[in-house]
Amino acid sequence: MYKPDNVKTSPDFPIPDTMRAWVLGDPDQLTLTTKPVPVPKRAEVLVRIDAVAICATDLEIIHHGPPAMIQGGLPYNKNFTPGHEYMGTVAALGPGVDEYKIGDRVTVEIHAGCGQCKRCREGMYTACHNYGLNYGDVDKGHRANGFTTDGGFAEYAVNSINTLVPISDAMSDEEATLVVTAGTAMYGLTELGGLVAGESVVVTGPGPIGLLGVAVAKALGAHPVILTGTRDNRLKIGLELGADYVVNARNEDPVAAVRKLNGGKGVDYVVECSGAPEAVNEAARMVNRGGRICLAAFPGKPAEVDIAYIVRNNIYIYGIRGEGKSATHRAEAFMAQKRFDATKVHTHTFALEDLPTALKYARERIEDAIKVVVKTHGHAAIKSVAAE
Ligand SMILES: [Zn+2]
Ligand SMILES: [Zn+2]
């Protein structure tokens, strides 16, 4: 059995020496292998992974490589396990850890950062200046699960205690995997954006971040909250999550519709989650003068932007990477209070051994898949269960 030196384990929570883990070979090539269960160091715990959600960034990593960075380069053929939106149970404690107990249920932020650079010291650990520098003699201790260290498409993972978010027993495993997505929307709206109650928000693009962006904006007291997109079934979920209005961009000009819905002046914030090539120019015309555009998605190629319009109208534009400044804890607090039902974006569940099928569902949006979750144990029989 697993019993590394200086690591606290419990007889009530036996841990095997080895675990099942998916490993990335060449691009798009994943293999289910056996790895040793990893060992937590100081200020780290071992988490037994109970559920992991698939994110568009996982598909990027498996196909293109970045933003994963392993040993200073691409993540291929390095025994690397991707997967980053996971939750689970604390299974073992590294030296000195007394903040958590074995058996605690937690969901996990992705980025621990290095803890020593300028941005980490400011709480912007998702923009750590030492990203990926965690190997050889350039070891700055940076950690980002499933990006620069082994992630969640496995049975266990080591995590810095700084990345853990305790969750209540009332929250299901599937819902807990969505905390980090809601936390990303929270970070963009409040910590980076400065949203206060009563301001108006447009979300463009009803993917997981966009839909939970609507939910978080509404829970924060924004008004009105308008969602634009092209698929009616997703816009409907936006309404269920609190959007005051939805606009189908296939049926009407979204810029004209937004301006009309908000007294002709445009809104205070646009959270851009579509990644469409014209998105920034449209967002600039949806915000009012002095308004803010939060960029949470991007097109595959550089886009042409009408800078003169942005300058003349004093528009602020900022990108967000992930979920900094502990925004995830505040998102969890909203979800624990049932201020919105994040499970509305969870559509499918698969067993760990069916990961390739789960990825295919997420990639090809089979059966209108939005968030696809993989469960690590006790769910081998589940093939595809659409959420209510
Ligand atoms: Zn993600
Ligand atoms: Zn750092």
Question: pLDDT tens digits, residue range 161-198?
Answer: 999 999 989 999 999 999 999 999 999 999 999 999 99
Q: What is the reported pLDDT for 377? A: 79
Gap from CA of 6 to ligand 1 centroid (Å): 33
Task: Give the C-alpha separation, 237 to 234, whole Å.
Answer: 5
Per-residue confidence band for 378, with pLDDT thresholds at 50, 70 and 90: low
Query: Which ligand has the shortest distance to the CA of 177?
Result: 1
Give me the mean pLDDT over the 107-113 stretch. Answer: 97
Query: Which ligand has the shortest distance to the CA of 113?
Result: 2
Give me the mean pLDDT over the 10-22 stretch. Answer: 97
Gap from CA of 149 to ligand 2 centroid (Å): 15
**In terms of Cα–Cα distance, which of 122, 121, 123, 117 is closest to 131?**
117
Gap from CA of 277 to ligand 1 centroid (Å): 21
Residue 316 buriedness (CB in 10 A; 0-12 / 13-18 / 19+): middle
Query: Which ligand has the shortest distance to the CA of 297?
Result: 1
Query: Which ligand has the shortest distance to the CA of 125?
Result: 2
Gap from CA of 289 to ligand 1 centroid (Å): 32
Query: Which ligand has the shortest distance to the CA of 61?
Result: 1
- 168 — phi, psi (to 5°)? -80, 160
On the question of pLDDT at 265 being above 70, the answer is yes
Gap from CA of 113 to ligand 2 centroid (Å): 5
Task: Give the C-alpha separation, 388 to 166, whole Å.
Answer: 26
Gap from CA of 92 to ligand 2 centroid (Å): 26
Query: Which ligand has the shortest distance to the CA of 184?
Result: 1
On the question of pLDDT at 388 being above 90, the answer is no
Query: Which ligand has the shortest distance to the CA of 115?
Result: 2
Per-residue confidence band for 1, with pLDDT thresholds at 50, 70 and 90: confident
Four-residue CA torsion sign, 371, 372, 377, 380: positive
Give me the mean pLDDT over the 58-82 stretch. Answer: 97
Gap from CA of 311 to ligand 1 centroid (Å): 32
SS3 339: coil
Per-residue confidence band for 138, with pLDDT thresholds at 50, 70 and 90: confident
Query: Which ligand has the shortest distance to the CA of 126?
Result: 2
Contact call for residues 341 and 314 (beta carbons, < 8 A)? no
Gap from CA of 147 to ligand 2 centroid (Å): 15
Average pLDDT over the chain reads 95
Q: What is the reported pLDDT for 40? A: 98
On the question of pLDDT at 88 being above 90, the answer is yes
Q: What is the reported pLDDT for 383? A: 43
- Domains belonging to the chain, first-starting first, are 18-110+145-177+341-375 (3.90.180.10), 183-319 (3.40.50.720)
On the question of pLDDT at 38 being above 60, the answer is yes
Task: Give the C-alpha separation, 84 to 86, whole Å.
Answer: 6
Q: What angle do CA 338, 176, 374 make, to 5 degrees?
A: 140
- Alpha carbon of 47 to those of 9, 101, 165, 178: distances in Å? 12, 11, 12, 17
Q: How do beta strands 346-351 and 316-319 pair?
A: unpaired
Task: Give the C-alpha separation, 131 to 138, whole Å.
Answer: 11
Per-residue confidence band for 380, with pLDDT thresholds at 50, 70 and 90: very low
On the question of pLDDT at 387 being above 80, the answer is no
Gap from CA of 84 to ligand 1 centroid (Å): 6
Q: What is the reported pLDDT for 260? A: 96
Query: Which ligand has the shortest distance to the CA of 128?
Result: 2
In this structure, the number of other CB atoms found within 10 A of the CB of residue 222 comes to: 25
Gap from CA of 185 to ligand 2 centroid (Å): 21
Task: Output the six-digit token pair for 132.
Answer: 């990926």
Give me the mean pLDDT over the 54-70 stretch. Answer: 97
Gap from CA of 100 to ligand 2 centroid (Å): 24
Query: Which ligand has the shortest distance to the CA of 132?
Result: 2
Q: What is the reported pLDDT for 240? A: 98
Q: What is the reported pLDDT for 382? A: 43
Contact call for residues 205 and 271 (beta carbons, < 8 A)? no
Per-residue confidence band for 381, with pLDDT thresholds at 50, 70 and 90: very low
Gap from CA of 126 to ligand 2 centroid (Å): 8
On the question of pLDDT at 104 being above 90, the answer is yes
Gap from CA of 127 to ligand 2 centroid (Å): 7
Gap from CA of 123 to ligand 2 centroid (Å): 9
